[in-house]
Amino acid sequence: MIFKLLVFGLVIFVVYTFFFKVNRGTVEQPKRKEKKKKIDGDTMVECTKCSVFISETEAIIKDGKFFCSKECAGLK
């Protein structure tokens, strides 16, 4: 009877530790990647031609260079 209780207790202990480990694993694994919103509007870039600073979102990118306007980029 005591032996049965010991085995039963051991089984519970093993199951408990197993689930505890599993739970810890599942909690630690999916680290929520906090979406850091890039504030593109705050990034200032310099116009390659006239050296005017404009926000990256408004800039015209041509050949990997930033331009403040289509005129500077030579698109017009």
Chain positions contacting Zn ion, by CB under 5 A: 47, 49-50, 52, 68, 72
Our CB check for Zn ion shows the closer of 23 and 58 to be: 58
Residues with Cβ within 8 Å of residue 47, at least 6 apart in sequence: 53, 54, 59, 66, 67, 68, 69, 72
Kindly state the tokens that stand for 48: 């390659």
Our CB check for Zn ion shows the closer of 22 and 75 to be: 75
> Which residue do the tokens 């093993």 mark?
14
The minimum distance between CB 63 and Zn ion, in angstroms, equals: 14
Q: What does the DSSP 8-state code read for residue 52?
A: -
The minimum distance between CB 47 and Zn ion, in angstroms, equals: 3
Our CB check for Zn ion shows the closer of 45 and 72 to be: 72
